[in-house]
Structure 1
Amino acid sequence: MSSPESEPTTVRVFVNERGVDVPRGASALDALRVADEGEAARVAAGERALVDSRGLPTAADAPTFAGAIYRTITAR
């Protein structure tokens, strides 16, 4: 079993097909900011929405996890 000290400090997630590394504990919106600041601003403004790999809505403040896949869509 690994100790917490050996745990990576970042996780790899995918946003609109782009892999990005974010700090452990970052939110889905934080990951989007790393991938595309303009798109993150549109999500924050309610113009766009975040969904997961299955197309299900994801809260912007949801914590990321290694391998997570997020996409943005037009907000309805």
Structure 2
Amino acid sequence: MSNADVRVFVNERGVTVPSGSSALDAVRVLFPDDAEGIEAGRLRLTDSRGLPTPAETPVNGGAIFRVVTARERLEDATT
């Protein structure tokens, strides 16, 4: 791990990514299928508190991200 690397956690698994990477980049390293699901809107990211986190969020050392199922939109459920 160089000084330009950042250690973060995705779904309780540690991963080292280059500084400047996004949360989605970190997901993609460990779970490429989940990264595709996030991009397609089937899945979403949260932070360690469960709050929604944009995929483009820059990582910082020790950050914790979780991949969760995206809920159906209300208008999709009523059609």
TM-score when normalising by structure 2: 0.86
Alignment gaps of 5+ in structure 2: 72-79
- Report the aligned-residue RMSD: 1.0
> AA paired with 2:24?
L
Structure 2 match to 1:42? 37
How many pairs does the alignment contain?
A: 70
Runs of 4+ in structure 1 off by over 3 angstroms are none
- 1:29 maps to 2:24: yes
Structure 2 match to 1:3? none
Out of 39, 54, 65, the residue aligned to residue 60 of structure 2 is: 65
Residue 35 of structure 2 aligns to a residue whose secondary structure is helix
Q: Return the alpha-carbon distance in structure 1 between the equivalents of residues 40 and 11 of structure 2.
A: 18
Residue 16 of structure 2 aligns to a residue whose secondary structure is strand
Q: Return the alpha-carbon distance in structure 2 between the equivalents of residues 8 and 35 of structure 1.
A: 21
Structure 1 match to 2:12? 17
Q: Larger C-alpha radius of gyration, 1 or 2?
A: 2
TM-score when normalising by structure 1: 0.89
Q: Return the alpha-carbon distance in structure 2 between the equivalents of residues 70 and 9 of structure 1.
A: 20
> AA paired with 1:36?
F
